Amino acid sequence: MRRILLTVAYDGTEYHGWQLQDNGPTIEGELNRAIEELTGTVIEVIGASRTDAGVHGKGNRAVFDTESTIPAERFTAAINAFLPRDIRVINSQEVDIDWHPRKVKTIKTYEYRIDRGIIPDPLRVRYTWNVWGELDIDAMRKAAGHLVGEHDFTSFCAAASPVEDKTREIISIDIEENPSASGGGIPSEELIIRVKGYGFLYNMVRIIAGTLIAVGQHKITSDDVKTILDARDRTRACETAPAKGLTLISIIDTE
């Protein structure tokens, strides 16, 4: 038996998230089906990050066990032949049979993208949240600084989450303006909120993004974010930003 590690990219628009669901297609389900068709055996992949419905991925990871003799690096093209065009394996390699994608310490990087155009760009509407109007970027950066480090992120976690320990560590939050996103006669500018950390709670990055946007719109102040964090109360934070603006960029081992 061999264990194969896949790096997977996908457009999450048409899927009910990563994890298998009874009510619609998922990334995990499509991978299971494709590998089963390739190898002729029932496969259940184990994913590193269970992204939500509508969230995209460039560097999610999954492993599966197989007795197939296909060389590890050739699984990339072989599996892609059975996948829908909005899911692609971008790398495949063999790992130790006991290697588990959720039991190694990693740094995860997410990006949340905001289209600031008065007219939403139709070429980016599936991957950005349209927020038109002035944003105070300096205030947003100051607010983000309150969230860096190890904290109890109860205020930034979906209330329905069953996880008891809500302490997580954020390494950095960068807010980047991208004027080059303008074009095609549509006045626009993209804003990227890039969050790196060792692990995240359910909806955590999307709640952070929604709260930072509220700061940028002067609905709350930068210092209010520290008060919200300390309150450990989801009702104190702002709206959860739409899933479509979020992409899991990479997962990197730290050990």
The HSE-up count of residue 42 (CA atoms within 13 Å, CB side) is 0
The HSE-up count of residue 210 (CA atoms within 13 Å, CB side) is 21
Cβ(34)–Cβ(84) under 8 Å? Answer: no
> Which one from 52, 115, 121, 224 is the annotated catalytic residue?
52
For tokens 């709670």, what's the residue?
Answer: 201
User: Where do runs of H (alpha helix) occur along the chain?
Assistant: 27-39, 75-80, 137-145, 204-216, 222-231
Give dist(CA 31, CA 62) in Å, integer: 9
Told to judge if 52 belongs to the known catalytic residues of this protein, a careful annotator would answer: yes
Cβ(87)–Cβ(38) under 8 Å? Answer: no
Residues acting as catalytic residues: 52
